[in-house]
Structure 1
Amino acid sequence: MFEDGQLYSPVSTKDDGSVEVHLGENHPGFRDEAYRARRNDIAEIAVAWSPGAPIPTVDYTEGEQDIWREVARELAPKHEKHAHSEYLHAKEALGLPSDHVPQLGEVGERLVPLTGFTYVPAPGLVPLREFYESLGRREFHSTQYLRHPSQPLYTPEPDIIHEVMGHANQLASPRFAALTEAAGKATARAELDDTVKFIADVFWFTLEFGVMWEDGDLKAYGAGILSSYGEMDEYAHMEIRPLDIAEMGTINYDITAYQPVLFAADSLDQLEDVVGTFFDTCDDETPSRLKATV
């Protein structure tokens, strides 16, 4: 399970109403005042947004567009090699632009006809329960900023590249979208915070960092892997374990590093049977019952 101390760059609102993103000292942009100011400005747009209002747009700079173009160009051949066919078919159906950063409203317009998912802005990390409950309404909270230009193929936190290239392509699959929605509905049923964390941990090792066997090859379907240039080179060399809900919900992991242990589904049917059934039936007694089996 993850700990709250590992959370990504928090966002706060000062007494004067200004918004500040607090980057850690090891963040690539920590000493870049221009980047930090830009992060604050983009976060402020999301903070000011209210549900039901039009999705705010960001006027991306040419430098930010270049980061998107470079990552899209570099990830494309890796997706062809490493991504599960279900993800590849969904990516093709969604047809995200590779020449510019799409606005969140544009992403939603492309997704709705495919799976009904929409995107809404987030200034940074969304509280666990709020984020997952929104998935049950087929609503995805997404950041709008881009990673630091010094490391275009790396980010220590979820930026719009992760949220859109990783998750939106995945959410264009009706089968992955249904699993995502099921996780959200399970969260909405949960009264205990420990149950929500358990659901989030299972989600982490599946929809975020899941791998799956396909025609004898280990393919990735998790958004965290498929939005990461480096992770796609590493995942096949990690310790691969079979799907195990109890283990996925209790194993310790670091969200800031490559995942040393991954859980592989034998097929998409098995993923839906094991993980989908867990999400559909999970209640507040489920985690304690499963923990007793570990």
Structure 2
Amino acid sequence: MFDEGQLYSPVTQHDDGTVEVHLSDNHPGRNDAAYLERRGEIAGAALAWTRGEPIPQIAYTEAEHEIWRTVSHELAPKHDKYAHGEYLRAKHALALPTEQVPQLDEVTALLEPITSWTYIAAPGLVPLREFYGDLGSRTFNSTQYLRHGSQPLYTPEPDIIHEVIGHGNQLASPRFARITEAAGQASLRLETDEAMKFVADVFWFSMEFGIMREHGEVKAYGAGILSSYGEMDEFTHMEHRPLDLADMGTLNYDITAYQPVLFCAESLEQLEDVVGSFFETVDDDLAARLRAEAAAD
């Protein structure tokens, strides 16, 4: 789970050029000076990067590679048990390295021939419209830092493990990739912040925390579930509701805890018909109507 309301830790660049990452009080690395310095270095590389230039290369340490190895190996049997077949097929096709942290241009080199998606570097939080606008052009903004080594199976914020193992494998599915691209293109049609938030919340309950029936069992396809060791143990015990766009776009949720309410598609075809079609057609008026429908219930 992600255990802070901001999701991404704020980043400040000081007048002397140093970069500071402001970790939450409950972050495992909050009092680790070496980790804080490392986070600043990695965020600084993304801040100094200009689009069109080569993606910043991070010289990952052996300790950072070990975190990636540990999580990759621990998630693998969980994926086999809990992930939807579409995700597993995409994961097999992408074949991410499991023994070392990949550079973002390596992820692009694996992903682009499959679905034409690319990865670019972000220091942390990317403004909502910028993030979704990039999704509309098949571009994923990704952090490059790793979680604190003291708790390799836990992170209070999205890190490269979430961005690549969670979303990268998902984006190697042409069908999931099309839904994600449609969500990004929707943002270009929307004028109001309310409509943009509605789309982002539907995305949260689908591509981030979506579940789906397969052969009579409930499986996960959302990147937020499939990049989290703990979330995979919990999602089957939560309340499962049918896909309902008005509910998905307005339900209050707490990102500091495992998600207690999840929306379950009956099939990949239903996900495409309901969520994919919504992203393809939503405008400010439709989002407003769905918000009003939810308020009336």
TM-score by length of 2: 0.96
Partner of 1:282: 282
Q: Equivalents in 1 of 2:70, 2:142: separation in Å?
A: 20
Contact 2:5 2:256 in 1 (8 A): no
Q: In structure 1, what is the equivalent of residue 99 of structure 2?
A: 99
Q: Residues of 2 paired with 1:196 and 1:222: CA distance?
A: 20
Please say if residues 104 and 120 of structure 1, whose CA atoms lie closer than 8 Å, have aligned partners that are also in contact: yes
How far 1:158 moved relative to its partner?
0.5
Report 1:56-205 matches (<5 A).
56-205=56-205
Aligned partner of residue 284 in structure 2, secondary structure: coil
* Mapped partners of 2:255, 2:135: distance in 1: 20
- Please state how far the C-alpha of 1:17 moved relative to its aligned partner: 2.0
Q: How many residues align?
A: 291
SS in 2 for 1:9: coil
> Structure 1, residues 8-39: CA drift from partner, whole Å, max 9, x if none?
31111112222111101111110001000000
Give the whole-Å Cα distance in 2 for the aligned partners of 1:116 and 1:168. Answer: 12
Q: Which moved more, 1:252-261 or 1:205-214?
A: 252-261
What SS does the aligned partner of 1:66 have? Answer: helix
Whether the 8 Å contact between 2:182 and 2:280 is mirrored in structure 1 is yes
1:32 aligns with 2:36: no
Match of 2:232 in 1: 232
Check whether the contact 1:6–1:254 (CA below 8 A) recurs between aligned residues.
no
Among all aligned residue pairs of Structure 1 and Structure 2, give the percentage whose two residues are the same amino acid: 68
Counterpart Cα distance in 1 of 2:45 and 2:144 = 9
Residue identity matched to 1:239:
E
Classify 1:83/1:220 alpha carbon distance in 2 versus 1 (closer, same or farther; 3 Å).
Answer: same
SS in 2 for 1:264: strand
**69-78 or 281-290: which moved more?**
281-290
* AA aligned opposite 1:215: H
CA distance in 2, matches of 1:241, 1:252: 14
User: Could you tell me how far apart the structure 1 residues matched to 2:85 and 2:287 are?
Assistant: 32
Query: How big is the shift at 1:7?
Result: 4.2
Deviations 1:161-208 (A, max 9, x none): 000000000000000000000000001111111111111100000000
Written as runs of structure 1 = structure 2, the 5 A alignment for 1:201-212 is: 201-212=201-212
Q: Which moved more, 1:107-116 or 1:17-26?
A: 17-26
SS where residue 124 of structure 1 aligns? coil
Moved over 2 A (4+): 4-8
Q: Distance in 2 between matches of 1:90 and 1:8?
A: 27
State the partner residue of 1:293.
293
**How far apart are 1:41 and its partner, in Å?**
0.3
1:119-160 deviation line (CA, Å, top 9, x unaligned): 000000111111111000000000000000111001010000
Q: Distance in 2 between matches of 1:12 and 1:200?
A: 25
Partners in 1 of 2:157 and 2:227 — Cα distance?
Answer: 12
State the shift of 1:5 in Å: 5.5
Query: Contact 1:6 / 1:255 at 8 angstroms: preserved in 2?
Result: no
- Alpha-carbon distance in 2 for matches of 1:146, 1:134: 23
2:210 counterpart letter in structure 1: G
Structure 1 unaligned regions, length at least 5: none
The offset of 1:257, in angstroms, is 1.7
Contact 2:153/2:228, CA 8 A, preserved across alignment: yes
> What is the identity, as a one-letter code, of the residue corresponding to 2:255?
I
**CA RMSD in angstroms, aligned pairs only:** 1.0
Matched, 1:20 2:20: yes
- For the 8 Å contact 2:7–2:158, the answer to whether it is kept is no
